[in-house]
């Protein structure tokens, strides 16, 4: 087995910084890149992003729905992109937001987190509308295989607020209870490293509104989408996450990808510099 996910993520943070580059080949971007809206187009798009990230940042996050949109051929394209990214030593997070119970959710973990699967990645995103316990099969498999899981907790989209701030019978908000449950299953490997099981926190949320604070995330990796395109500025990273800013994987997709193929490398370099400057 490889090193625990948290160890590997911590090493990447030290070596390459905390930027995660999204791979979101939606129809509009394919068009602006001069690529066809097809399985071949999403393959080309993904491989070009991977190529540009190598040597510049350490983590990529393919948005799987944009590959699934092209059926089994799209999944085959995704397999090629995943293989290229992992062969280059990039850490790969599949943004799949899977959630279910029992053998079904175990099958999702088998697909994404099992060594040797054609869809093998380093970590996946997951959804716990059916309770964090419904994801036991995913968390167990992640820890067994040295993989990671990011569970959606507090997200940026405004229509999420009422659900994620709803109050449970135990007096915790849905988002805070999930985060506490994740903390209890943190899966830390070596001392001083991040754990393997983390949360997704939108970069534009006000943590106190969800009953969360920087202390909620001790030792926990945080995947934070919403920088750039969705309104949060990277310079606000420490303002948003306080002392937990060191745990944040700063995810940027549209703000990098929308510059087009020619300027991609420069946009990645620029984002890496912004993140590093903010955390210095």
Residue 150: how many CB atoms within 10 A of its CB? 26
Alpha helices in the chain (DSSP H): 5-16, 27-32, 39-53, 65-68, 71-87, 102-113, 136-145, 161-164, 174-184, 237-241, 254-257, 264-279
The least distance separating its own copies from the CB of residue 17, rounded to whole angstroms, comes to 25
Q: Extract the tokens encoding 71.
A: 């059926």
Burial label for 115, CB within 10 Å (0-12, 13-18, 19+), is exposed
Q: Give the contact letters, 64-103, x = binds to its own copies (CB under 8 A), - = no.
A: -xx-xxxxxx-xx-xx---------------x-xxxxxxx
Q: Which residues does residue 250 pair with via DSSP β-bridges, in sequence order?
A: 19, 224
**Residue nearer to its own copies on the CB measure, 10 or 173:** 173
List 26, 69, 86, 97, catalytic entry? 97
Closest Cα partner for 253 from 232, 277, 235?
A: 232
Binder of its own copies out of 2, 104, 190, 218 (CB under 8 A): 104
259 to each of 202, 234, 268, 270, how far by Cα in Å?
A: 23, 17, 10, 12
Q: Say if CB 223 and CB 249 are below 8 A apart.
A: yes
Q: Give the contact letters, 35-64, x = binds to its own copies (CB under 8 A), - = no.
A: ----------------------------x-
Task: Decide: is 105 part of the binding site for its own copies (CB under 8 A).
Answer: yes
Q: Give the contact letters, 164-193, x = binds to its own copies (CB under 8 A), - = no.
A: xxxxxxx--xx--xx---------------
* Cα–Cα distance for residue pair 83/149, rounded to 1 Å: 19
The interface region with its own copies, picked from 13-21, 157-165, 187-195, 255-263 by CB under 8 A, is 157-165
Indicate if 61 belongs to the active site: no
Task: Decide: is 140 part of the binding site for its own copies (CB under 8 A).
Answer: no
**Binding footprint of its own copies on the chain (CB under 8 A):** 24, 26, 28, 63, 65-66, 68-73, 75-76, 78-79, 95, 97-105, 107-108, 110-111, 117-119, 127-134, 152, 155, 157-170, 173-174, 177-178
Task: Name the residues annotated as catalytic.
Answer: 97
């Amino acid at each position: 087995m490889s090193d625990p996910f948290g160890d590997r993520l911590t090493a990447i943070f030290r070596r390459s910084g905390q930027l995660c580059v999204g791979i979101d080949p939606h129809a509009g971007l394919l068009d602006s890149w001069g690529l066809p809206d097809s399985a071949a187009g999403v393959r080309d798009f993904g491989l070009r992003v991977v190529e540009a990230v190598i040597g510049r940042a350490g983590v990529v996050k393919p948005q799987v729905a944009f590959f699934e949109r092209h059926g089994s051929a799209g999944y085959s394209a995704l397999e090629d992109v995943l293989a290229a990214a992992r062969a280059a030593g990039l850490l790969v997070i599949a943004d799949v937001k899977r959630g279910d119970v029992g053998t079904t959710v175990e099958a999702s973990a088998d697909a994404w987190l099992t060594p040797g699967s054609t869809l093998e990645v380093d970590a996946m995103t997951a959804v716990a509308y059916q309770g964090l316990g419904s994801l036991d099969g995913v968390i167990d498999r992640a820890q067994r295989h040295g993989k990671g899981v990011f569970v959606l907790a507090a997200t940026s989209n405004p229509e999420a607020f009422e659900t994620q701030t709803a109050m449970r019978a135990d007096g915790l908000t849905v988002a805070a209870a999930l985060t506490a449950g994740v903390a209890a299953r943190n899966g830390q490997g070596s001392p001083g490293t991040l754990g393997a099981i983390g949360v997704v926190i939108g970069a534009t949320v006000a943590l106190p509104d969800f009953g969360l604070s920087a202390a909620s995330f001790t030792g926990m990796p945080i995947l934070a989408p919403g920088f750039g395109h969705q309104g949060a500025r990277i310079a606000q990273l420490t303002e948003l996450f306080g002392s937990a800013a060191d745990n944040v994987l700063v995810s940027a997709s549209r703000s990098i990808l929308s510059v087009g193929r020619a300027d991609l490398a420069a946009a990645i370099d620029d984002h890496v510099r912004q993140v590093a400057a903010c955390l210095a």
